[in-house]
């Protein structure tokens, strides 16, 4: 998220759970029976845990990949921040799970890493949401998004909202109505849907933005801290 105007889509737990159900059905229909799920941290954790439940798997592993961007390095290099436990996937059929593929690099790096370092059996991939712009082609996809948007998942609602609030605040105080208006105009966050998806949470978002040093109170409203 770099620019100051882009489309955001706020999702709910129910909606995300339905996508998990769709992915699980696809895996079952395909006949694939993975032994272990490797969930990419952090976005793959909720889907990974739910897919374990839906597919009847005990083994859930985590893999955290970080991207280096800009300053110290040129371009983007994968960096395995927290690898898979050495014997967790050896000889096993693996399902790598993430929330969304944007460029698709995370997913393909994860697969390469597991195949090169851990001698697994079959390795397949699943994502809840797939942006058509992605170069990857995951094995199982909950939903294809034909238009790019930043998806606000329920598990990082506060994190994303604090980030967005930080972008709309400035030197002129904004009251809550002003903050909501800016969120609508710049990030297409519809106020009505917001209250359906995450009822009564704007106060909490602003308080958390203050606690995290992003926002401060002043002039009868909110300012950039």
Which residues are near ligand ADP by CB under 6 A? 40, 43, 67, 98-107, 150-151
Choose between 119 and 133: whose C-beta lies nearer to ligand ADP.
133
Give residue number: closest CB to ligand ADP.
43
Identity of the residue, 65 or 174, whose beta carbon is nearer to ligand ADP in the bound complex: 65
CA separation for the pair 102, 133 (Å, rounded):
7
Beta carbon nearer to ligand ADP, 134 or 205: 134
- Residue 90: count of CB within 10 angstroms of its CB: 14
Taking the complex as a whole, the smallest distance from the CB of residue 44 to ligand ADP amounts, in Å, to 7
Least separation in angstroms between residue 135's CB and ligand ADP is 9
Residue 201: CB minimum distance to ligand ADP, A: 18
Q: DSSP letter for 83, please.
A: P
Sign of CA dihedral 185, 189, 192, 195: negative
Residue (9 or 180) nearer to ligand ADP, CB: 9
Radius of gyration of the chain, Cα coordinates, nearest whole angstrom: 20
Residue number with CB closer to ligand ADP (67 or 201): 67
Q: Are 191 and 202 in contact (CB under 8 A)?
A: no
Contact assessment for residue 96 and residue 114, using Cβ atoms and an 8 Å cutoff: yes
Name the nearest CA neighbour of 122 among 99, 139, 136, 134: 139
Pick 28 or 79: Cβ nearer ligand ADP: 79
Q: State the minimum distance, in angstroms, from the CB of residue 42 to ligand ADP.
A: 7
Shortest separation between residue 106's beta carbon and ligand ADP, angstroms: 3
* DSSP summary character for residue 67: E
Say whether the peptide bond before residue 176 is cis (omega within 30 degrees of 0).
no
Query: What letters, b where the CB count within 10 A reaches 16 and e where it falls short, cover 20-52?
Result: beebbeebeeeebebbbbbbbbebbbbbbbbbb
Taking the complex as a whole, the smallest distance from the CB of residue 35 to ligand ADP amounts, in Å, to: 23
């Amino acid at each position: 998220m770099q620019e100051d105007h882009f489309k955001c889509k706020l999702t709910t737990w129910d909606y995300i759970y339905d996508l998990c159900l769709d992915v699980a059905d696809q895996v079952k229909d395909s006949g694939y029976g993975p032994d272990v799920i490797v969930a990419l941290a952090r976005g793959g954790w909720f889907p990974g845990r739910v897919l374990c439940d839906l597919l009847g798997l005990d083994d859930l592993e985590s893999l955290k990949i970080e991207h280096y961007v800009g300053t110290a390095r040129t371009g983007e290099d994968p960096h395995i921040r927290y690898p898979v436990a050495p014997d967790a996937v050896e000889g096993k059929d693996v399902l790598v799970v993430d929330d969304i593929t944007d460029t698709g690099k995370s997913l393909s790096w994860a697969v390469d890493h597991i195949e090169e370092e851990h001698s697994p059996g079959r390795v397949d991939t699943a994502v809840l949401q797939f942006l058509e712009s992605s170069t990857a082609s995951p094995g199982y996809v909950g939903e294809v998004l034909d238009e790019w948007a930043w998806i606000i998942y329920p598990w990082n609602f506060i994190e994303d909202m604090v980030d967005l609030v930080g972008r709309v605040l400035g030197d002129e105080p904004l009251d809550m109505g002003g903050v909501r208006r800016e969120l609508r105009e710049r990030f297409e966050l519809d106020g009505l849907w917001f209250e359906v998806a995450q009822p009564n949470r704007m106060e909490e978002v602003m308080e958390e933005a203050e606690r995290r040093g992003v926002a401060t109170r002043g002039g009868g409203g909110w300012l950039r801290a």
